[in-house]
Structure 1
Amino acid sequence: MSEEYYAARIPADIDRPDAVVARLTFRQVAIIAGTGAACWLIFTAVHRAAPHLPLAILLAPLVLALTVAAGIALGSRDGISADRFLLAAARHARRPRLMVHAPEGIPPMPSILPKAWRRAAGPRPAPLVLPAAGVDGAGVLDVREHGYAQIAACSTVNFALRTSGEQNALVTGFGRFLNSLSGPTQILVRTRRMDLTGLVADLEEAAGALPHPRLEDACRDHAAFLAHLSAHQQLLGRQVLLVAREPQAAAATDAGLRLSRRHAESGAVLAGAEVSVVPFTPAGAYGLLADAIANENPGGFQ
């Protein structure tokens, strides 16, 4: 019996907003039309106030402004429209450059210091407010006003080497998981740099205990190869995380029970797609957060 493979065509721009006029979205039309209307009003007012002003001098800055507006409306960077990119850049420019962990607040400079010293100190740092307020004994994260969340690690499946029937079974199993979701859930594929220092040290330590000199030489050669690879290449590793969240939980205990039950249900359903789901322990969740913020001493989590 021949295997059947079911496929569905999904457009690549599924997240693109709907076009309203000439393949332009409402946001693009609003930017271009609004700028055009403003330029027309400015042209009319200036032309009536100074009718003898040459049109070239009057139209040049207005055409430039309209061109810039069209570039902002039609341009994009990294999948983000140019207007949103510029707004994000403006918000980033207004944010403080130096933030420190200060839950009690940052005290002002002592007034007894000379004004020249206080000016030389530069702008005051701002308090750093991390998204997560803490991790409890069940590995549940307190994400402040957003409720509670729990993170689980997921194994991966080699999809390309499967037959069409096996691929269809894996897709069906993953579809059951999506249909079984009962709360906010995020699938996060995290890429981070890999450090082989610990592995190289373990190989060097274990080489002397091998029963044959050739095995010892092979182990040390492999350790040297990994050390050379880590020193001259940028090694990246991927980690698949499943984050379940309870946005309106009454208490952390109730949220932890519901999140644990949801992860257990997800693991049972994803087992049909050959994916294992293992929730993080409190120490594992703490280490994951500390690694995510790239801080050697993450004092913000208790």
Structure 2
Amino acid sequence: MHMQTEQIRLRHMKTRLLLNQISKFIFMLSAFFGLFFLAVLLVRVVTEGIGSINFGFLTGKLSTQPERAGIMGAILGTFWLMLVVAPVTMFVGVGTAIYLEMYAKKGKLVSFIQTNISNLAGVPSIVYGILGLTVFVRTLNLGNIVLAGGLTMSLLILPIVIVASQEAIRAIPFHLSEASYGVGATKWQTIQRIILPAALPGILTGAILSLSRAIGETAPLVVIGIPALLIPFPGSIMDRFTVLPMQIYYWTLDASLVSEYANLAAATIIVLLVTLFILNATAIIVRNKFQRVF
């Protein structure tokens, strides 16, 4: 009887080991599958676009002539857009997270709000574009200026910043706030001097990664009617503008008529990818720096 039980246990163990090897192979194959096509995409973009990147391309104005076209307007438009998105998102997102975690009484209403915030993070970006078109462009009559685009993009990434900030606040050990209350500090003093400094790495990481997503989004800006060609450089948040993803989108469409636009689109993709890599690297550096400090 004991021998039969031992044989059954060995067969089960061999079956589990075999399933483990098969699963490992499938997951490894999936990873290589994704990396292969990513490498193919990057190689094609670099080979087609690297030759078009020069000083004139980076500093020139948009033009209907491919050989004279530049992306400085799109770069400045992206910069001004982030000047609106970053403060609005940080102030509202972090403030909402602090209220929900530190002030709001736990109950069905708070649970309902948090569930909907998490669900909003998965809403397609074009829905936020429709909301921005209705509220900012038409109701508030802002038109397709930097401010309207920035507020629309802020709505897009706001749920992500709120969730990331909440998780960062929840990760703070409970005894730190209790010790602060024990020495007579108020709740706001505890938040300001204990909670926020300790949660800052997670908050900043989530915010920077959210800004990276906002930089690469196109659908909301298409919906609110952001132009792409022959507009002057934006100089404030009240000016009309375009951004790098919009320029890529329109040049990709024009590539079916004029093949040179495909190279310009690829060159703009390289610039956008470098920008995103810099932002992601900044998120890692900021997180590591503040983790060492706090």
Bucket of the pairwise TM-score, normalised by the shorter protein: under 0.3
Larger helix proportion of the pair: 2
TM-score (norm: length of structure 1)? 0.24
TM-score (norm: length of structure 2)? 0.25
Larger strand proportion of the pair: 1
Structure with the bigger RCO (C-alpha within 8 Å, sep 6+) is 2
Query: Which structure has the greater CA radius of gyration?
Result: 1
